Structure 1
């Protein structure tokens, strides 16, 4: 799979909400073929997936700031989200001892 090819590390478990995109037969087969376990959170409990929820919140806040500070129209939202992700992935992070970015890792 792409993650393993690019990082040399195997995904052991995927934690996700109960979104339809994660519950399809095709996705379940794909996980099984790659030997990836699955952990689903209880509906309407984002607290169980707090790391992902916080990452999403950070990107949304960054995108909103980019739009407001640049006086850009709302239809530029997708570009602002992509830019926020690009910037965040290239910023030092404490989980990597501030020595490298997520992009470098």
Structure 2
């Protein structure tokens, strides 16, 4: 897992959870999105999907949170070339 050095990702409890679950962590330098291009691109895709859903149905920005949740749900279940036909959820 790649994360920035935000407080929630550097807590001892979070580190212990990752170790218990076998999750390999990589902390990126703060304020350097260039180091985490894959995640930044995914975020850009999710934001675009959310805005598209809101605009297509002429919904108010107050539904932003639900639109993002829905976009992430769809994104995690769509196949990708980089995962050779698997979804991020399956990987």
Normalised by the size of structure 2, how large is the TM-score?
0.81
Which structure has the larger Rg over C-alpha atoms? 1
More RCO (CA 8 Å, sep 6+): 2
Distance in 1 (alpha carbons) for counterparts of 2:24 and 2:53:
37
**Counterpart in the other structure of 1:101:** 87
Tell me the number of residue pairs that the alignment of Structure 1 and Structure 2 aligns.
Answer: 91
3-state DSSP of counterpart to 1:82 = helix
Moved over 6 A (4+): none
Q: Quickly say closer, same or farther: Cα 1:104–1:39, change in 2 above 3 A.
A: closer
Please identify, of 17-26 and 85-94, the stretch whose mean Cα deviation from structure 2 is larger: 85-94
> Which blocks of at least 5 consecutive residues in structure 1 are unaligned?
1-13
TM-score, normalised on structure 1? Answer: 0.72
Query: What's the CA shift for 1:33?
Result: 4.2
> RMSD across aligned C-alpha pairs, in angstroms?
2.1
Match of 1:58 in 2: 45
Q: Which digits, 9 at most, give the CA deviation of each residue in 1:60-103, with x for residues without a partner?
A: 11101111111001111111011111222232211133x34334
Aligned match of 1:42: 29
The 2-side partners of 1:25 and 1:69 are apart by: 43
Residue number among 57, 74, 80 corresponding to 1:70 in the alignment: 57
Displacement of 1:31 in angstroms is: 3.3
User: Tell me, which stretches of 5 or more residues in structure 2 are unaligned?
Assistant: none
Which whole-Å CA distance do the structure 2 matches of 1:53 and 1:44 have between them?
12
